[in-house]
Amino acid sequence: MMPLWLVVVAPVAIAVLIAGAGSRPVRFTRWLAAAGPVLALWAGMERLLAGHGESAASTAGSLSAEWLVTAVGPLGIGLAADALASVMLVVVGVVATMVVVFSTGYMADDPAQPRYFALISAFSAAMTGLVLSTSLLGLFVFWELVGACSYLLIGFWFTRPSAARAAVKAFLVTRVGDVGLLFALAVLWSQTGTVSIEGALAAAAGLGTGLATTVALLLFLGAVGKSAQFPLHIWLPDAMEGPTPVSALIHAATMVAAGVFLVARMWPVFEASPTAQLVVLVIGCITALGAAIAAVPQTDIKRVLAYSTISQLGFMFAALGSGAWIAAIFHLTTHAAFKALLFLASGSVIHGSGTQDLREMGGLGRVMPVTTATWVIGVAALAGLPPLAGFFSKDGVLDAVWVHAPAAGVVLFIASALTAFYSFRATRLAFGGTWRGQGHAHESPLSMTAPLVVLATLAAALGAATWWFAEALGGHGHLALPIAIASSVVAAGGAALGWSAYGAGPATDDALAARLGALWGSARSGFGVDAAVVAFAGAAERASAAASSVLDGTVVDGVVHGVVKVARWAGRELNSLQSGEGQLYAALVGAGAVLLASLALWLGR
Amino acid sequence: MTLAGLIVVPLAGALLTALVGRRVPLARAVALVSALGTAGLAAAAWSEYAQTGERMAFDIPMIGAGAFFRLAADGLALPLVALTAVLGVMAVLTGWNAERAGGHLALLLGLEAAVMGVFLAADLVLFYVAWEAVLIPMFFLIGGWGHENRRYAAMKFFIYTFAGSALMLVGLVLLILWSGGTAIVDTPGALAGSEHLVFWLLAAGFLVKVPVVPLHTWLPDAHVEAPTAGSIMLAGVLLKMGGYGMMRLCAPYTPGAMADAAWVLAVLGVAGIVYGAVMALGQSDLKRLVAYSSVAHMGFVVLGISAGSELGYQGAMLGMVSHGLVAGLLFFLVGALYDRAHTREMAAFGGLGRTMPRWATVFVFASLASLGLPGLSGFPGEFAAVVSSFGTFGWPIVVAGVGVVLAGAYTLRAVRAVVHGEPAGSAGIEGVDAHGATHDLAGSAHGPAWPDLDLREYLVAVPLVVLIVALGLWPRLVTDIASATLQALAFLSGTVS
């Protein structure tokens, strides 16, 4: 078995190597960035194949250490791979490998390639560490580190003010959630005296409903930040300022799914709290529907995909809130394949057409055949059309939610219809019709199209793994036929509507905007949530700037200066001590020392 | 002997450096050798204690006076001694090119000797003398090598700490009277007088030094006006004297009063965390921003101490060592920038990631460490402080979470202003790349051409970077050596969890 520490440590060493070697050999060293992901894929696959049909942890190659030691007990960290972690290793491994290969083409002309590939390698180390962690403390460490890599990669083109701003926003908004995770750790430590996940889960049942709800909601706050759920979703659309392969890896397939992973990992805590489950379900549904609506009027191809990602993560949380964590993880897996595919395909489109504005595209189907074919497989999977992967995983989600809470099921069906609609709107605008942009669009090189083909294959075929997947995680896979039929009809209807309505090109946007009025503009700006939060943050920053001069400058120092004035006055009155504070000071030090020394003499008689 | 050497070597180095001060290269060499020698002694003391686990002691019987020059080192002192020794070398390297270098370096070494005295003193009289002796070189460093407003800052620094020390002096006198001796012992008996009175008098001196809000306004002024090497020592080492004093004297001598005051300390800690962060967010001067971030970081130290548990003390110790390294590095970087640009206004910079990539890389690293990123040294201390104080005080500690978010805000705001964006004063040569995205295509620097970090500056930065990573990954580097002493303290405090 591949030792798990190697999966985490090797890509860190490689990152240092790539960064240290610099620009000259980067044509070669950049390929090393794929080593970490390949190791992760290998480690995950061999464990899944060996432990097929079991959910028990495979402890081979695991590692544990005591990070801090107290008389109460150790605060441990460690790495181990159970079935859930192995699935995540495979997801991270496949997507990251494809992204590295794609990036060798996409980033080929960028002067800062060493920094880029080093950060990608560092990210894959942190992400594998996150999924392998056996303690919540270790998970938190890696949780923050993937966030830091995300920050540095969103701000990769840091001379662009918009990229710098987006990077800070992503870090800070997710950090609000991270504080929740930090205090979940604090509660667990103070109540159970352990930070190990196993220990926490074992203690979950004995925590009592109130405390379990508290811990679950704190954990969920972390998940809401990382996985861009309402109302902390606002950082993700802006995160598209990063290079597109980064969006595919971090902001579609892996890091943003970490919240879903966290809830699944800590499932017994949520199971002990119906309240927390309800909150997860409601937030998931609000996000799934709201983001699906917001995706419709976007004109930037990456922003369509960003809102789509937020929405699909909402689907996963809805499944979690309905108690179906295996369905959520399966949707996470297929989503990783088809959304990474879509982002990389959009990268290919941006690379080949020179724009990311859907209104300036059109007719790319003829000049970019491979990109087009793979994109269409991706959107069909996203829309949930049979027999693609998304159809099977979404069926699992819809079935669980429908059985658990029909009202939530209805919300998700509407979101599904909208998903199909915006997917095929974007498809028609980009690939259908005639070229509306400037210059000549062209197909991308093999380094970029090959990963598309691999991911498209997975997006098409992963559905066949439905049953195997569920059993590997300790559940039972099945296809809920009535739901499957209903969702296929809804998806096909949405897709057909989206495709046909946009036969007229971008003009349809104007027509819809005219008919829908304020709703269109409001949806386009994400319903003003973003503007409200940003306005609030801006006001807070201005207030603190004002406060710093008033509080420290006037209030606190005012008191100090007052005291000094009194002291000066006293000094003048006590004429003998006015010769200057330096001497006064020295004299007093001397006097004090003499006083103490005499005391010592007296005491030491 | 090692312990005496830790004070004597830098002190002798200071005198020698001052004597040969006119011959600058020689003065530099003497200063560097003494600083390195002190670091070697610190390493020796560390390894000896790590092997034996026994409190190290050194006495000179003074004629007729019992023992006055009494030294000791244990798990509480050694991490701070080591920190002082490391930063002492960095300060000498930082002050290398100062005007009147001989005097500058001599004062830095004198400062180092005095601080060593505070951490190693096993006698209350020596403790007080060393405590006050620290102020003298610091006062002259600010007054003699400071910036525009140095007289005001030096005086403010003096008045604050004088007021604090005056109260502390009374507290020490009472402590000597009521504990029956001047020797500092690990497990003193009950005082013959009011514990509460002694505690608050001592705490007054310590808390000004930390500093806690609202006794902190000397700190930003002192930092902004101090020369870079002075700032490194001031933030890196001098502030630690406050936290050290709380744990060395208050915790064992006045445990009951300290337990009663725990909630006050927690309030002061959380107030420092939030207030320091809010103030830092409002700054336009980069050095002032780092200074206020020190207030926030030391708030975590006070919070850890307030918890009164082993984990809390570990958090305080980790926080102090980490802050010494991180703030030291940040002040060094800001100073390196000031040497080139002669301004610290963040608005004057921008795009340094393009024009000074090595400086920018280290600055981003230090900023991430400062905001408490796990894997770097700031995190273990903050984590232990928050978790342990939550165990003691419960939900009110959530307020500190606001400070955690704000720490990200003020640090990354500084990174965005200084490192990101177009190079300041550049023509903004923009191009459209293959991806349709406009960004700066010209790889070369335009705008003011400041040189990037040189070899001497690397020698300061790289060891600090290495230590920040090492401590972040494996905090037991510090807590293993400290744990026996801290456990005993926590036992005295009556809470073990």
For B395, other C-beta atoms within 10 Å of its C-beta total 11
CA angle B395, A147, A74 (to 5 degrees): 55
- With a CB cutoff of 8 Å and minimum separation 6, the contacts of B347 are B284, B417
CA distance A597 to chain B (A): 7
pLDDT of residue A601: 54
pLDDT of residue A599: 57
Interface test with A, best of B405, B413, B486 (most A CBs within 10 A): B405
Query: Which residues, numbered 502 to 561 in chain A, qualify as contacts with chain B under a Cβ-Cβ cut-off of 8 Å?
Result: 541, 544-549, 551-552, 556-557, 559-560
pLDDT of residue A586: 57
Residue B243 is encoded by which pair of tokens? 């936290």
B396 touches chain A (CB under 8 A): no
User: Which residues in chain A are closer than 8 Å to B317, comparing Cβ atoms?
Assistant: none
CA proximity to B289, closest of B271, B276, B307: B276
pLDDT in tens, A269-299: 999 999 999 999 999 999 999 999 999 999 9
pLDDT of residue A85: 92
Collapsed DSSP state (helix, strand, coil) of residue B369: helix
Interface test with A, best of B281, B300, B399, B430 (most A CBs within 10 A): B281
Q: How confident is the model at residue A589 (pLDDT cuts 50, 70, 90)?
A: low
pLDDT in tens, A488-515: 999 999 999 999 998 888 888 888 888 8
B477 touches chain A (CB under 8 A): no
Task: Let me know if B433 is exposed, middle or buried by CB neighbors in 10 A (0-12, 13-18, 19+).
Answer: middle
Q: Which has the minimum average pLDDT: A306-315, A535-544, B360-369?
A: A535-544
As a whole number of angstroms, the distance between CA A304 and CA A237 comes to 9
Q: Which has the minimum average pLDDT: A401-415, A583-597, B334-348?
A: A583-597
Q: How confident is the model at residue A517 (pLDDT cuts 50, 70, 90)?
A: confident
Q: What pTM did the predictor assign? A: 0.91
A354:B158 CB<8 A? no
As a whole number of angstroms, the distance between CA B478 and CA B377 comes to 11
CA distance A286 to chain B (A): 26
Interface test with A, best of B60, B125, B177, B213 (most A CBs within 10 A): B125
The mean pLDDT of A395-406, rounded to a whole number, is 93
Percent of chain A with pLDDT over 90: 60
Question: What's chain A's average pLDDT?
Answer: 88
Query: Which residues, numbered 2 to 61 in chain B, qualify as contacts with chain A under a Cβ-Cβ cut-off of 8 Å?
Result: none
pLDDT of residue B262: 92
pLDDT of residue A515: 87
Residue B198 is encoded by which pair of tokens? 């002694």
As a whole number of angstroms, the distance between CA A403 and CA A406 comes to 6
A164:B408 CB<8 A? no
Single-letter amino acid, residue B117: G
pLDDT of residue B7: 93
pLDDT in tens, A157-185: 999 999 999 999 999 999 999 999 999 99
User: Which residues in chain B are closer than 8 Å to A167, comparing Cβ atoms?
Assistant: 412, 416, 420
B398 touches chain A (CB under 8 A): yes
Using 70 as the pLDDT threshold, list the residues of chain B that sit under it. Answer: 61-67, 424-448, 494-497
Q: What is the DSSP string of A369-412?
A: HHHHHHHHHHHHHHHT-TTSHHHHHHHHHHHHHHHH-HHHHHHH
pLDDT of residue B319: 96
B442 touches chain A (CB under 8 A): no
* Beta bridge partner(s), residue A592: none
pLDDT in tens, A213-239: 999 999 999 999 999 998 899 999 999
Q: What is the DSSP string of A1-70?
A: ---HHHHHHHHHHHHHHHHHH-STTHHHHGGGGGHHHHHHHHHHHHHHHHTTT--S-EEEEEEEEEEEE-
Question: Number of A:B CB contacts under 8 A?
Answer: 234
CA distance B284 to chain A (A): 9
As a whole number of angstroms, the distance between CA B342 and CA B337 comes to 8
pLDDT of residue B191: 84
Single-letter amino acid, residue A478: H
Query: Which residues, numbered 212 to 231 in chain B, qualify as contacts with chain A under a Cβ-Cβ cut-off of 8 Å?
Result: 214, 216-217, 220
For A584, other C-beta atoms within 10 Å of its C-beta total 16
CA distance B326 to chain A (A): 18
CA distances, A525 to each of A234, A585, B107 (Å)? 10, 63, 60
Torsion, Cα A561 A563 A569 A570, to 10 degrees, reads -150
pLDDT in tens, A451-490: 999 999 999 999 888 888 888 888 887 788 889 999 999 9
B485 touches chain A (CB under 8 A): no
pLDDT top residue among B34 and A208: B34
The distance in angstroms from the start CA to the end CA of chain B is: 37
Task: Let me know if A438 is exposed, middle or buried by CB neighbors in 10 A (0-12, 13-18, 19+).
Answer: exposed
Residue A5 has pLDDT above 60, yes or no: yes
Collapsed DSSP state (helix, strand, coil) of residue B72: strand
As a whole number of angstroms, the distance between CA A486 and CA A483 comes to 5
Q: How confident is the model at residue A381 (pLDDT cuts 50, 70, 90)?
A: very high
Q: At what angle do helices B310-341 and B286-307 cross, to 10 degrees?
A: 170
User: Which residues in chain A are closer than 8 Å to B131, comparing Cβ atoms?
Assistant: none
The mean pLDDT of A394-407, rounded to a whole number, is 93
Asked if residues B259 and B252 have their Cβ atoms less than 8 Å apart, the reply is no
pLDDT in tens, A548-585: 777 776 777 777 677 667 766 665 665 554 444 555 55
CA angle B303, B308, B310 (to 5 degrees): 105
ipTM score of complex:
0.91
A556:B217 CB<8 A? yes
